């Protein structure tokens, strides 16, 4: 198999490249060459898809499958799709559950309405970029376009830093503010499982939209933090605290306390999407302990969370230590 990855040095792109190599495929990446290295054996085509004639390096190439990780201007997806229309039979676009139009109900499935978006739009907000990118891919490839609507993505290589923040916080030791309840169900996807699923379905020629994320409750908040304590070996007692106490203090779920979204919160649907279609199409998700352990091992190798390829840095995630100390002092423990 000949795989082309548009991007290929960031989080999901990197996982996809490594999975292609693991399979013994011929792997090519197309990018500007500004972020990170590619593994040995990968062919690199230089180009800036936002520049005039920036796709010239793709001319004359032929591949069996393309995976596009782009999250910028939708028109760049359309330009790439048109450039590759005669060079590759199947187009996989890494999309997001953020495409769903609010208000979004828990259990949302792939047939729910998506935000208004233009396939030829310039750069905008993340939701419209992804929705517009979907439209652009489908306009060119039709049912030969696979739209992988990923959820929360964790694992080695994570460039936002949600799981790394928890690991580094636990490793620092001392009482840890653990947002309750302990049995709060989580929904996420390991980047490596996302890559495996996309390549498997791409080879099969599967098209259409899929919520590619684990079942809700694949892991719990308690299981994730217990795994973090175990792999770091830290003396870090988890102080489980009622969500009402945390919210009353102005702490923001997802950002201040990464991954955590309590029941009843307006964004709880981010942890409760319908996934029957993806599981019926072969999605398999590894145990949370494996994701946590491998991410900790990777962090030890790289030293710090890398910058996001191709996009400006977002606001750092994680609770300020002084705020955490104040909350621990004010909150009663929860068993």
Distance CA 230, CA 224 (A): 10
For residue 95, what pLDDT band results from cuts at 50, 70 and 90?
A: very high
- What's the rounded mean pLDDT across residues 224-249? 97
Residues 113-124 have pLDDT tens digits of: 999 999 999 999
> For residue 335, what pLDDT is reported?
43
- What's the rounded mean pLDDT across residues 199-213? 98
Task: Check pLDDT > 50 for residue 193.
Answer: yes
Task: Check pLDDT > 60 for residue 313.
Answer: no
**Cis upstream peptide for 107 (omega within 30°):** no
Three-class DSSP labels, 33-45: CCCCCCCCCCEEE
Pairing of strands 65-68, 91-96: parallel
Mean per-residue pLDDT of the chain: 95
Q: Which of 67, 75, 73 is CA-nearest to residue 91?
A: 67
For residue 316, what pLDDT band results from cuts at 50, 70 and 90?
A: confident
> For residue 332, what pLDDT is reported?
57
- 296, 303 in Cβ contact below 8 A? no
pTM: 0.96
> For residue 310, what pLDDT is reported?
60
For residue 33, what pLDDT band results from cuts at 50, 70 and 90?
A: confident
Radius of gyration of the chain (CA): 20
**Which of the two residues, 330 and 212, has the higher pLDDT score?**
212
Three-class DSSP labels, the chain: CEEEEECCCCHHHHHHHHHHHHCCCEEEEEECCCCCCCCCCCEEEECCCCCCCCCHHHCCCCCCEEEECCCCCHHHHHHHHHHHCCCCCCEEEEEEHHHECCCCCCCCCCCCCECCCCCCCCCCCHHHHHHHHHHHHHHHHHHHEEEEEECCEECCCCCCCHHHHHHHHHHHCCCEEEECCCCCEECCEEHHHHHHHHHHHHHHCCCEEEEECCCCCCEEHHHHHHHHHHHHCCCCCEEEECHHHHHHCCCCEECCEECCCCCCCCCHHHHCCCCHHHHHCCCCCCCHHHHHHHHHHHHHHHCCCCCCCCCCCCCCCCCCHHHHHHHHHHCCCEC
For residue 37, what pLDDT band results from cuts at 50, 70 and 90?
A: confident
Domains and CATH numbers, the chain: 2-153+190-212 (3.40.50.720), 159-185+221-267+292-330 (no CATH)
Rounded to 5°, angle at Cα 146 from 141 and 148: 145
> For residue 252, what pLDDT is reported?
96
- 262, 247 in Cβ contact below 8 A? yes
- What's the rounded mean pLDDT across residues 157-184? 97
- What's the rounded mean pLDDT across residues 156-177? 97
- What's the rounded mean pLDDT across residues 59-78? 97
- What's the rounded mean pLDDT across residues 190-194? 98
Share of the chain above pLDDT 70, in %: 97
Residues 98-139 have pLDDT tens digits of: 999 999 999 999 999 999 999 999 999 999 999 999 999 999
- What's the rounded mean pLDDT across residues 245-269? 97
- 30, 60 in Cβ contact below 8 A? no
Task: Check pLDDT > 60 for residue 334.
Answer: no
- What's the rounded mean pLDDT across residues 218-232? 98
């Amino acid at each position: 198999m000949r795989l082309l990855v548009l991007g290929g040095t960031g989080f999901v792109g990197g996982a996809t490249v490594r999975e292609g190599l693991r399979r013994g495929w011929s792997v090519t990446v197309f990018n500007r060459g500004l972020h990170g290295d590619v593994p040995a054996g990968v062919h690199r085509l230089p180009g800036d898809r936002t520049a005039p004639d920036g796709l010239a390096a793709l001319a004359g190439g032929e591949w069996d499958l393309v995976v596009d990780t782009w999250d910028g201007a939708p028109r760049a997806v359309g330009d790439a799709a048109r450039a590759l229309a005669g060079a590759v039979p199947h187009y996989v676009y890494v999309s997001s559950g953020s495409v769903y139009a609010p208000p979004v109900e828990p259990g949302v499935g792939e047939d729910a309405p998506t935000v208004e978006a233009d396939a030829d739009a310039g750069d905008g907000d993340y939701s419209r970029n992804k929705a517009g990118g979907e439209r652009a891919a489908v306009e060119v490839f039709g049912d030969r376009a696979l739209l992988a609507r990923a959820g929360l993505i964790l694992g080695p290589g994570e460039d936002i830093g949600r799981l790394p923040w928890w690991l580094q916080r636990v490793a620092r030791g001392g009482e840890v503010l653990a947002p309750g309840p302990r049995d709060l169900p989580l929904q996420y996807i390991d980047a490596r499982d996302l890559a495996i699923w996309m390549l498997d379905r791409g080879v099969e020629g599967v098209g259409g939209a899929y919520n590619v994320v684990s079942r809700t409750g694949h892991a719990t908040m308690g299981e994730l933090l217990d795994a973090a304590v175990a792999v770091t070996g830290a003396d870090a007692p988890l102080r489980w605290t009622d969500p009402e106490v945390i919210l009353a203090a102005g702490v923001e779920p997802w950002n201040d306390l990464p991954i955590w979204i309590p029941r009843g919160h307006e964004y709880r649907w981010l942890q409760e999407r319908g996934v029957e279609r993806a599981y019926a199409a072969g999605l398999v998700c590894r145990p949370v302990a494996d994701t946590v352990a491998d991410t900790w091992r990777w962090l030890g190798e790289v030293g710090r969370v890398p910058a996001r390829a191709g996009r400006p840095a977002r606001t750092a995630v994680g609770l300020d230590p002084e705020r955490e100390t104040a909350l621990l002092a004010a909150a009663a423990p929860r068993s």
